[in-house]
Amino acid sequence: MSLPLWFVVAVVAYLGIKLTRPPLWLVVVLLLGGYLIADSFLAPAVDSIAK
């Protein structure tokens, strides 16, 4: 069985938010920070750490 990556990420995110109940501002900061870092000069460093 093969699942698309976006589906797996969405399920993990949904469960993480439901189970740990982080504040909404923290979720927004992490999403925005990840988006901004992905398009910066730090992207290769983050990519090598993630692999």
Report the Cα–Cα distance between both ends of the chain, in Å, rounded. 24
The answer to whether the pTM exceeds 0.85 is no
Higher pLDDT, 1 or 18: 18
Task: For residue range 2-15, list pLDDT tens digits in order.
Answer: 888 889 989 998 99
Domain boundaries, the chain: 23-51
